[in-house]
Amino acid sequence: MNDSCDMSVEGKARVLLVDDNLTNLEVLFQALEQEGYELLVAQSGEEALEIAREARPGLILLDINMPGIDGYETCIRLKADEATRGSVIIFLSARGDMEDKVRGLEIGAVDYIDKPFQFEEVVARVRKHLQIHERERQLEHENEELEARLGEGFRSLSGNDAEALIKEGEGDRLEFKSTLRWNLHTDKSDKRMENACLKTLAAYLNSGGGVLMVGVDDEGLALGLESDRFPNEDKLLLHLNTLIMNHLGGEFAQLIRASIHPVNGQRVMVVQCLNSSQPVFFRRDNDEYFYVRTGPATAALTPSEVIAYLKGR
């Protein structure tokens, strides 16, 4: 989808009205002029193609029955042109034939508005499809950013790399945890251990990324993963993924990659986190927290601090 096919330079949505009947154009213009859109008009398919290629409107209201090339052919040409294929097309038609509507949807239109026009229907359909279009663009942009981060951010680690990380020692981008879920003092599974790991991951996601190593104590001694008492490593990784999905959000799982590596005869888990473009909240037991990294530590921000932090990002 072409990112330039949606907004005018002033930031208003650009809408092209196409109909060979001047009365219909006046009705559409009156219906939409109060919505703040930049409105363009064309009275033929040829004129619509020329204007659309130059202006790249976000949405086109396109009449079917016109002299010269009709609405269907105009739609086909718009969708075949890289400069205009991103425009949302809604057909205008007095036809009530279902086959005509199906044909329009098959060649790229998203909706129909029947004549005679109702102001409320025109406004509602245009507004709805522009909102959908904008959200799709945002998602496409976010996915492009995510792919770029995934392609560049995660490191391919060997056992030697994991050992080198431990030797670096804890810092603002590296933290050690002895276990994922097991409290070594009480010898029981303890959600406080889980919370400590999740807080660090949330802070990394909010603060430029980092690495959490599980199975390593504060002094950098590799303890291994046996203390967490999972039947196998796959169960440990699955448990971590479940925690992330339940308490940070599934939409952020792609920004986290966990792998297990041998270090000095032990097996440790290395969890890499990339920076998130969206704020990440840690949610558990009906509470919600926002964490960031402050040097080598993780800190929870107050609501006012969260607002200030997000504004400054």
pLDDT over 90 (residue 207) = yes
Structural domains in the chain, sorted by start: 14-141 (3.40.50.2300), 156-312 (3.30.950.30)
Of the CA atoms within 13 Å of residue 280, those in its CB half-sphere come to 32
Three-state DSSP class for 285?
coil
Average pLDDT of the chain is 89
| Distance between start and end Cα atoms, the chain | 28
More confidently predicted of 153 and 225: 225
Confidence band, pLDDT 50/70/90 cuts, at residue 115: confident
Tokens of 1: 């989808």
- Environment class of 38 (CB within 10 Å of its CB; exposed 0-12, middle 13-18, buried 19+): middle
pLDDT, tens only, 243-256? 999 999 999 999 99
Tokens of 196: 């400590």
Query: Which has the minimum average pLDDT: 151-165, 176-190, 212-226, 287-301?
Result: 151-165
User: Which residue, 227, 243, 237, is CA-closest to 185?
Assistant: 227
pLDDT over 60 (residue 1) = no
More confidently predicted of 114 and 147: 114
User: How large is the average pLDDT for residues 19-33?
Assistant: 93
pLDDT of residue 145: 60
d(CA 109, CA 62): 9
Query: Which has the minimum average pLDDT: 34-43, 71-80, 156-165?
Result: 156-165
User: Which residue, 87, 65, 72, 71, is CA-closest to 2?
Assistant: 87
User: How large is the average pLDDT for residues 204-230?
Assistant: 95
pLDDT over 80 (residue 152) = no
Residues 6+ apart with CB under 8 A from 295: 171, 172
